[in-house]
């Protein structure tokens, strides 16, 4: 940990008078009292429970000090601040400034975690690299990631998420990224945004904290043309952009393609044309940071991604499972259906799909679910299971188009019946796609198919 008690006092300027005779180093920072260990700084955030209720527990666990938004009558060291979350963010910003680590930031409606993982993997061939762990990509998780960065880190790859306009602006101002990328702008979290354009405005706020002349990669999407920041160096990627790929080959296990900025072709152990775009972004940023072309090409061969992103898995009976169950929005569902449709059937096998509700789409939810019908074809899918409340009308529409018996609908209350039906239906030569929002728990069906 790169923080001492006196540094915390200097950065936070607490309201209470502290005489720190000894400048002890903090072991680490924790906001969950159950994770506190000897020498830690406890950060009592307010959530479902007020973290201040667990300050005594944190000290029993061995905490060296705690933050607090109120005066405390305790013998232990505490820093009395106006807002605990803002104090956590201030400490993270201080650590970044002190360490002089290079921050590379990634956001986007789809693909940000995959791209983050790719970029960190490529950078790690040449630099000491740390990245956002799991989905710690918000106003709490991002500073927590920074404060858990190992000493000596040279490159820090941070994922930035948004639920509301302004979220990414805050994260960018905390971190001041040297380079950043927006992977794609899609209809995600429409419950909290007026429309896709406002989502785009939020994503492009990733530039708000970037120094002048920093590198920003943005899709060649015409909707973004008049939203681009003018104080950074913008490179567009995709069809008609500055950066693009060509000669794409793909099968169930990998993608192979060429880019217009690398001599060597790239082979990525992932399915889906959209992952070629993610890899292109990661490769360009890595090259800009000084990673050699040979290291980039070689590193993609050993890529490991955050669990539950798009991945092929194997059922207990040998059937192939395309699991994409972490999250869902219309663009992401359309892209994975496109990928699945492009695959040939195995000899004697079928192609099945389990599609569940896409959450946080607001008032447009029904219409956006119905729009998925253009991505469903009875020629490419032998059977489709629909699950959830918001997807019901899409299931009814699909039943009018698909052969009798090839569309099955299960309401939210019938999850166990759905799981049992899918497990009983899947044959060894089949391929099955599962796609839906994380809260729909399709990961449990994947586990059941694998026999876990």
Q: Which residues does the annotation place in the binding site?
A: 108-114
Side-chain-side CA neighbours of 428 within 13 Å: the count stands at 2
d(CA 376, CA 406): 12
d(CA 37, CA 120): 29
What's the angle, vertex CA 108, arms to CA 102 and CA 112, rounded to 5? 60
d(CA 364, CA 393): 13
Instruction: Characterize the bridge pairing of strands 266-268 and 255-259.
Output: antiparallel
d(CA 121, CA 129): 8
**Helices 273-288/293-300 angle, 10° precision:** 140
d(CA 110, CA 120): 17
The answer to whether the beta carbons of residues 36 and 66 sit under 8 Å apart is no
The answer to whether the beta carbons of residues 266 and 296 sit under 8 Å apart is yes
SS3 at position 181: strand
Tokens 């959830």 locate to 388
The answer to whether the beta carbons of residues 11 and 50 sit under 8 Å apart is no
Rg (CA), the chain: 24
Indicate the annotated binding residues for ATP: 108-114
Phi-psi region of 128 (alpha: psi -120 to 50; beta: other; left: phi over 0): beta
d(CA 142, CA 120): 16
């Amino acid at each position: 940990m790169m923080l001492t008690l006196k540094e915390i006092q200097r950065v936070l300027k607490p309201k209470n008078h502290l005489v720190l005779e000894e400048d002890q180093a903090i072991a680490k920072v924790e906001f969950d009292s159950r994770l506190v260990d000897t020498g830690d700084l406890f950060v009592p955030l307010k959530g479902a429970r007020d973290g201040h209720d667990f300050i005594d527990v944190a000290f029993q666990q061995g905490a060296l000090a705690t933050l607090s938004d109120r005066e405390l009558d305790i013998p232990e060291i505490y820093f009395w601040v106006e807002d605990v979350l803002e104090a956590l963010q201030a400490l993270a910003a201080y650590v970044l400034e002190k360490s002089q680590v290079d921050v590379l930031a990634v956001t986007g409606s789809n693909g940000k975690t995959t791209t983050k993982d790719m970029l960190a993997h490529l950078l790690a061939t040449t630099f000491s690299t740390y990245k956002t762990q799991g989905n710690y990509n918000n106003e709490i998780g991002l500073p927590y990631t920074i404060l858990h960065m190992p000493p000596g880190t040279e490159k820090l790859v941070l994922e930035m998420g948004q639920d509301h306009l302004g979220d990414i602006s805050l994260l960018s101002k905390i971190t001041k990224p040297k380079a950043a990328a927006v992977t794609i702008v899609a209809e995600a979290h429409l419950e909290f945004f007026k429309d896709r354009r406002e989502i785009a405005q939020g994503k492009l706020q990733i530039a708000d904290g970037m120094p002048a002349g920093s590198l920003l990669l943005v899709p060649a999407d015409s909707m973004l043309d008049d939203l681009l920041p003018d104080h950074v160096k913008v490179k567009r990627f995709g069809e008609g952009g500055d950066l693009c790929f060509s000669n794409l080959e793909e099968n169930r296990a990998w993608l192979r393609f060429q880019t217009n900025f690398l001599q060597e072709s790239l082979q990525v152990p992932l399915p889906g044309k959209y992952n070629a775009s993610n890899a292109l972004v990661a490769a360009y940023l890595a090259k800009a940071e000084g990673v050699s072309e040979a290291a980039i090409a070689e590193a993609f061969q050993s890529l490991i991604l955050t669990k539950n992103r798009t991945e092929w898995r194997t059922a207990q009976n040998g059937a192939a499972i395309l699991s994409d169950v972490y999250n869902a929005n219309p663009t992401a569902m359309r892209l994975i259906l496109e990928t699945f449709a492009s695959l040939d059937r195995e000899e004697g096998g079928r192609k099945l799909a389990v599609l569940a509700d896409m959450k946080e789409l607001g008032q447009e939810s029904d219409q956006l679910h119905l729009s998925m019908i253009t991505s469903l074809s009875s020629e490419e899918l032998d059977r489709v299971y629909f699950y959830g409340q918001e997807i019901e009308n899409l299931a009814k529409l699909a039943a009018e188009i698909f052969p009798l018996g090839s569309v099955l609908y299960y309401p939210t209350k019938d999850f166990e019946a759905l799981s049992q039906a899918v497990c009983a239906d899947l044959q060894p030569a089949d391929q099955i796609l599962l796609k839906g929002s994380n809260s729909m728990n399709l990961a449990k069906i994947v586990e059941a198919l694998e026999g876990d």
